[in-house]
Structures are given as C-alpha cells and as structure tokens.
C-alpha cells in the first residue's frame, strides 16, 4: 500500500518558489523572531509557572524550565535545519513526509491539530477569563457567567465578580469566540499585517515581564527558596479541586521537577510555529534558523528569571490556595506593597500575550493544512488562496468554526491537556527525521546544520519522550483516540487521493496551478 512512500526533497524545493499565486513572502528575520516570541510568551509564563511550582516542583520550577528548554532547544536545532533546507509551509508534517514517508507525515499533520487548533482554543478560553478580569479592574463591570463559560461549567463562587451568580450554568463562551473571529479576520487580511500587530503585542508583554522581574527582584524572600525542591514530607494542601499530597511520586524531588517540566512545557509551545511560516519568509534559508533559535533563547532566559522571582515573592504552597490562574497578580499584591498598578498591567499583558499566541497558532494550523491539501491528503478547499491577499482564507474560516466549537462549549481543562502531549510527539518525530535524513541523504544542501546531530537528535527525542511518559493515562488515551480518528480519515480518503502515491507530485506542488486560486 506504499504507506511509507516519501516526497522527494527536490520537488519540495521546487514548490517553494514564490509566484503571484503562492503564499506571499513578506517576513524578515525580525518578524520571525517576534513571531516566535509572540507564540511562546503567553499563557505559560503567567499561569503554568505557578501551577508547576505549587503542585510539583516548588522553587525548583526554574530547573523544570531548564529541562523543558533543553528538549525544545534540541528539537529547535532540528527544526532549524529542516526549515532552512525545506523552506515551505507545513512544518513537521513536511519534514516527516521527506524523511519517514506519507503515513508518518499524516500522523504528524493530524497530530499538529492538537498543538495548533486546540492550543488556540485553550488560550482563547484563558483570554476570555482575563478579559472579564480586565473589564472588572478598569471598568467595574463584567460579562455574565452564562455567556462567558461552557455548558459544562457552573459558578461556585460567592466572592468576586460572580458573587451574585452562584449556581449559574454556562451556555457559551462568547468572548473566546469573539477573539478568534477578530484574529481570523486579521489573518485573512494578510501575513504582513498580522506580523505588525504581533510585533506591537510582543513589545508590550515583554516590557511588562521585564518590569515584574526588575521590580520584583528587590522583594524576593530567600526563605521562600528553601528547600529548593519540594520534600516528600511537605504535607498535604487542601484546594478547591481536592487535596494535593506532596508525598505522591510526581509531587516532590526530582520526579516532581520532571513532572513540572511537562507542565511548563506548555509555555514553550509555539516556537515551532515559526517553521510553518517558512514559505512566507523573505530569505528562509538564512532567517528561519535565526527566528526559531533566537526566540527560544530569549524566552528561556525570561522564563527562568521570571519563575525565580515569582517563587521568591510568596511560598509555592500559596499558589494552590490563593493564586490559581491569577497567581502573578496575587504574588504582586501580597509581596510588593505599593505596586498594585503593576498587578493591573499584568492583566493587560496577559490579554496581549494570549492574543499573539492565538494569532500564531491559527496561522500555523492553516499553513500545515495548506500543504497537506496541496498533497491531496485533505480536500482542496484548505489550499484555496484569497485572490487579493494570497492567504488560505477558506481554511481560515473553517478552522475558526472548528476552534470556536471547542472554545465556546468545552472547558479548557479538557482541551488544554491534549496540547502538550501532541506537541511533544511532533518534536520526537522531527528529531528522528533529521537523524534519518543525515543517513539517507548526506549530500543534500543544508544552509544550517544541526551540530553534533549524533547526540542532539537522539537526546532531544529522549528528553521529549521522558516528558511524555510523565503525562497521565487519560492524556495518552485522548491521544490514541485522536490518532484513531485520523487513521479512519487517512485510509478512507487520503490514500485514494494522495498526489505522491499516484504520481501527481509535480502538478500537486506547482504553485502556478490555477486550481489553488479562486
């Protein structure tokens, strides 16, 4: 059945040429770096840092960030080589097609929906929560619980903005759908315009992160960093969602730090989205590696400094009781007297951060499906370009509808946990792909080469697999269920229409082919 038939790299390169009927090359190295930072710094630094510290790693969450960053850096080196060598849209899907064959490429392309589409849904739900906090802080009003939460949620609080809505059931999360609509319209308008908006957002949120680090450093209490790792006898903390027992295997010591790494890994999701924009970069061979690696280095440094300050302001146990999603604001109010204004700015920064993450995730998803569509594995509607803006506008609208269903009607606790495991799985395949290609095609031109690939590739795959291993059984079952749905589509539709399988590679990847433009 030719499950592992490969897409020739020479034909992939031929498809990367820009024409009037292909994706428009508008992004320079600065925009690519900002794109990476925009995708990375968002929900993770403000929410996941406190969650990982409070339940698993304590002050040693800084080490958790280092472990997660190591896995991302090793994978990032592999992404950089692929992106410079095969500068077209599609990211890990395209790389897998060239190295491990069509079936593996389909798995990774389908798996990327977990990272990009469901990632956008998860972050839009978080955006909705903080948008209400923004309205409450600055305008003393809020959107009612019923139309800002999913049908699976019920208001249980007697304090705060929902004090008068105890027992109210959610109906639909309209703010989450609203931000998805606004960003979809922006993406349809053009990649250059989207990049400009993203650059402004990046400046705002990085400035606020630096302010928290710089001002908060003077309020660090060294006692909050002792002991640095959570001891097994740290006891039990009762929370609104149940007790957290630090004696549990993954809630203390080095295993707690490792589990914390899998939690904060969510904070790094997005750097690989830079590679999906390869076909819209002005000089992808030179700029793609810089965009991927520089954005990753900048964000890692900010994460480590930020987590050190945050865990120094208050005890890690307080994040489980008081802070929750608003842990950063809580820590500022509790430990930095006179800086209440900074707490308010955090809300603005979080909204900005969430917006840029959603923007990049939606763009990344449509670019992956654009390439899969040109290969015949999914319907051609996903590769139809707008006649004026040269963006995959129909695909953008379809994913707006798909992502809105999750954002509007499903709690973030369900969709959010599927994102990390799907992304880690993609990273493993990218690391293996570089290793395989170095053996099978050693003479191909590589503008950027992964250093010490014999070590980097296997080590990157191993670190990512270790983080996957620390995920719960429920996450594994969700991943398996999602892949089974993908297998049904692949064997029922894709194998019959694959251009590579049926000798239509050149036609399928010819950017001048009029069937890809309406």
Q: Higher-confidence residue: 60 or 341? A: 60
Q: What is the mean pLDDT of the chain?
A: 81
Domain ranges of the chain: 9-516
SS3 142: coil
Interacting residues of 18 by C-beta distance below 8 A, sequence separation 6+: 24, 25, 511
Calculate mean pLDDT across residues 93-97.
82
Percent of the chain with pLDDT over 90: 21
Residue 437: CB atoms within 10 Å: 24
Output the pLDDT for position 515. 37
CA distance 276 to 362: 11
Output the pLDDT for position 443. 85
Cα–Cα nearest to 371, from 112, 64, 77, 131: 112
CA distance 76 to 270: 11
Fold adopted by 9-516: Amino acid/polyamine transporter I (1.20.1740)
CA distance 401 to 395: 10
CA distance 50 to 58: 9
Using CA atoms, how far residue 21 sits from 242, 305, 390, in Å, is 56, 45, 7
Output the pLDDT for position 241. 55
pLDDT (tens digit per residue) in 262-276 = 888 777 776 776 776
Q: Give bridge partners of residue 242 from the DSSP assignment.
A: 239
How many residues comprise the chain? 518
Cα–Cα nearest to 299, from 73, 54, 116, 48: 73
SS3 190: coil
Output the pLDDT for position 207. 87
Q: Is the pTM of this model over 0.85?
A: no
Residue 231 pLDDT more than 90?
A: yes
Out of 18-32, 268-282, 469-483, least confident range: 18-32
Q: Give bridge partners of residue 27 from the DSSP assignment.
A: 281
Q: What angle do CA 204, 206, 212 make, to 5 degrees?
A: 105
Output the pLDDT for position 506. 43
Residue 51 pLDDT more than 70?
A: yes
* Both structure tokens of 445: 């031109």
């Amino acid at each position: 059945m030719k499950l592992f038939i490969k897409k020739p790299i020479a034909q992939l390169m031929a498809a990367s040429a820009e024409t009037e009927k292909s994706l428009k090359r508008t992004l320079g190295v600065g925009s690519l770096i900002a794109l990476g930072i925009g995708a990375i710094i968002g929900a993770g630094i403000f929410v996941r840092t406190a969650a990982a510290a409070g339940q698993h790693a304590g002050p040693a969450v800084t080490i958790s960030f280092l472990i997660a960053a190591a896995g991302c850096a090793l994978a990032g080196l592999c992404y950089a080589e692929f992106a410079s060598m095969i500068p077209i849209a599609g990211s890990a899907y395209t790389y897998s097609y060239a190295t491990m064959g069509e079936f593996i490429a389909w798995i990774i392309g389908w798996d990327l929906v977990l990272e990009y589409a469901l990632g956008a849904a998860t972050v839009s739900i978080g955006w909705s929560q903080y948008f209400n906090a923004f309205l409450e802080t600055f305008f003393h009003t809020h959107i009612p619980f019923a139309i800002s939460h999913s049908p699976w949620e019920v208001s249980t609080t007697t304090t705060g903005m929902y004090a008068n809505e105890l027992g109210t059931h959610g109906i639909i999360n309209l703010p989450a759908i609203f931000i998805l609509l606004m960003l979809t319209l922006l993406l349809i308008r053009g990649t250059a315009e989207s990049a400009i908006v993203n650059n402004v957002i990046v400046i705002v949120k990085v400035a606020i992160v630096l302010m928290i680090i710089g001002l908060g450093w003077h309020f660090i209490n060294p006692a909050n960093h002792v002991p640095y790792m959570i001891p097994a006898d740290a006891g039990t903390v009762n929370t609104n969602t149940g007790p957290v027992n630090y004696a549990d295997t993954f809630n203390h010591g080095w295993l707690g730090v490792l589990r914390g790494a899998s939690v904060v890994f969510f904070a790094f999701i997005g750097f690989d989205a830079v590679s999906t924009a390869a076909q819209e970069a002005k000089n992808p061979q030179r700029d793609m590696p810089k965009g991927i690696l520089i954005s990753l280095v900048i964000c890692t440094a900010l994460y480590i400094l930020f987590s050190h300050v945050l865990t120094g302001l208050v005890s890690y146990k307080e994040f489980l009781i008081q802070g929750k999603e608003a842990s950063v604001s809580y820590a500022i109010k509790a430990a930095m007297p006179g800086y209440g204004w900074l707490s308010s700015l955090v809300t603005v920064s979080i909204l900005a951060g969430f917006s840029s993450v959603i923007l990049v995730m939606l763009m990344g998803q449509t670019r992956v499906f654009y390439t899969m569509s040109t290969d015949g594995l999914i319907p051609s509607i996903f590769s139809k370009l707008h006649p004026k803006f040269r963006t995959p506008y129909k695909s953008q609208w379809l994913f707006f509808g798909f992502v809105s269903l999750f954002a509007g009607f499903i709690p973030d606790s369900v969709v959010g946990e599927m994102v990390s495991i799907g992304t880690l799985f993609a990273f493993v395949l990218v690391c293996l792909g570089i290793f395989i290609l170095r053996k099978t095609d050693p003479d191909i031109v590589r503008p950027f080469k992964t250093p010490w690939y014999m070590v980097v590739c296997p080590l990157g795959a191993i670190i990512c697999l270790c983080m996957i291993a620390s995920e719960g059984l429920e996450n594994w079952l969700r991943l398996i269920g999602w892949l089974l749905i993908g297998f049904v589509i692949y064997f029922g539709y894709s194998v019959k229409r694959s251009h590579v399988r049926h000798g239509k590679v050149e036609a399928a990847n010819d950017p001048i082919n009029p069937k890809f433009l309406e």
